Amino acid sequence: MNLITLLILISSILLDLGIFMQIYAENKKFFKEPKGGNYRGNISVIIPVRGIDVNFEENVKSLLNQDIKPLEIIYVVDPDDPYRETIENILKKYNVKIVHTFYNCNMCSGKIRAQISGLLRSNGDIIVFGDSDTWYPKYWLRELTLPLSKYMATTTFSFASPARLTLKNLVRAGFWTLGIESQAIGGTFLWGGSMAFRRNFFNDHVLKSLSKEWCDDCTLTRIVKERKGKIGFIGNAIPLNVYDEHNLFKWAQRQVLTVKIYSYRGARAFIPFGLYMVILLISLILIKNFLLLLPFLLWIIKNLLRGRRLGRKAILPSLLSIIGIYFAWVVLILSWRKKEIIWRDKIYIVENK
């Protein structure tokens, strides 16, 4: 055994120990510490809608099936959406509230316009923002809102659930785990598909700040941190994002740039880590030593544990999380100096905070 091989084996063992420590720390921080809480009140769930997602009707049913019943479930529909009539025909079959986007802000994204429109038409003491392409387990709302007694805001990340087993969908399934990685190594920040706040959080300053931004979760994260508040990442509330991806690179680029904005340290650390994982994979192929396979197995196990409440739905994204490492690494490198993104046919300027 030469020196280089020995060093690679030692480094892989150190990585194994690091993953074990990460599993232990995440289990305590994301799955035990945020659990519980006693904050209660009338809940308004606000869901912006644009187009018809592949899982749209199941999204509605999952929100109606929550084991803690919200005061109202508000779907905010763009009056100019070409699918507006179809969307509303689906929604009218259920006990939900339909609001048309009315709030005007020239600099903000369409999603923020919809969120503020829903907020101004809501009546709840607790405001929860979600997405129309997500299936929410029945415990999601309870797990997300009760810890507001301990945090200024709560959030969780989604596991992927591809609608079809295409190459793009499978790559995206593994890529999704980068979101939780960024929470672990760069500090907790909000994700738009699951965010909960007390109503009094939304004063005029918050509305004015949102009115100038394209990124809802980024802006709300910044405001929470400016107020010295804490964000609770609720690992027990993880839902499923159901999708059928057609433009994988642009979607992934938007995600990594969002991570870079509010987890710059984590994004920067991911570049040498990704390079090391490339070296480790090449070494595994050339050396064929089982010890070099162990970090990949532990990586999969780590993600399986993250999605344990989702049962079998966590298996596919956990297995594909290995591919996600390399794909996210390539996208991050190619996008590192990029200052703008294209989202829903509009160009937005992004800056590190």
- SS3 letters across 164-218: CCCHHHHHHHHHCCHHHHHHHHHCCCCECCEEEEEHHHCCHHHHHHHCCCCCHHH
With 0-12 / 13-18 / 19 or more C-beta atoms within 10 angstroms meaning exposed / middle / buried, residue 208 is exposed
336-341: list long-range contacts, CB under 8 Å, 24+ apart: 336/260, 336/271, 338/253, 338/257, 341/250, 341/253, 341/254, 341/257
Residue 349 has pLDDT above 70, yes or no: no
The rounded mean pLDDT for the chain is: 90
Q: Considering only residues 353 and 116, tell me which one the structure prediction assigns the higher pLDDT.
A: 116
Q: Considering only residues 254 and 147, tell me which one the structure prediction assigns the higher pLDDT.
A: 147
Least confident of 93-107, 116-130, 281-295, 332-346: 332-346
Q: What percentage of the chain carries pLDDT values higher than 70?
A: 92
- Both structure tokens of 116: 């503020």
Residue 254 has pLDDT above 90, yes or no: no
Helical ranges in 307-345 per DSSP H: 315-335
Phi, psi angles (nearest 5°) of residue 346: -120, 145
Q: In angstroms, rounded to a whole number, what is the distance separating the alpha carbons of residues 75 and 72?
A: 10
Residue 251 has pLDDT above 90, yes or no: no
Where exactly are the structural domains of the chain? 3-28+248-349, 31-156+191-243
Q: Say if strands 97-100 and 126-130 run parallel, antiparallel, or are unpaired.
A: unpaired
Please list, in sequence order, all residues whose beta carbon lies within 8 angstroms of the beta carbon of residue 2, skipping any fewer than 6 positions away.
Answer: none
pLDDT of residue 299: 95
Give residue 352's pLDDT band: very low, low, confident or very high (50, 70, 90): low
pLDDT of residue 116: 98
Cα–Cα separations (whole angstroms), residue 305 to 45, 107, 143, 260, 311: 28, 41, 18, 25, 10
With 0-12 / 13-18 / 19 or more C-beta atoms within 10 angstroms meaning exposed / middle / buried, residue 163 is middle
Q: Note the pTM of the prediction, 2 decimals.
A: 0.91
pLDDT of residue 292: 96
DSSP 271: H
**256: nearest Cα among 195, 318, 328:** 328
Q: In angstroms, rounded to a whole number, what is the distance separating the alpha carbons of residues 348 and 320?
A: 30
CB 128 within 8 Å of CB 71 = no
Residue range 224-239, pLDDT digits in tens: 999 999 999 898 999 9
Residue range 166-184, pLDDT digits in tens: 999 999 999 876 667 766 5
Q: Say if strands 43-49 and 194-198 run parallel, antiparallel, or are unpaired.
A: unpaired
Average pLDDT estimate for 274-286: 95
CB 107 within 8 Å of CB 212 = yes
Give residue 91's pLDDT band: very low, low, confident or very high (50, 70, 90): very high
Q: In angstroms, rounded to a whole number, what is the distance separating the alpha carbons of residues 99 and 121?
A: 8
Residue range 137-170, pLDDT digits in tens: 999 999 999 999 999 999 998 999 999 999 999 9
Give residue 215's pLDDT band: very low, low, confident or very high (50, 70, 90): confident
Q: 31-156+191-243 falls under which CATH superfamily?
A: Spore Coat Polysaccharide Biosynthesis Protein SpsA; Chain A (3.90.550.10)
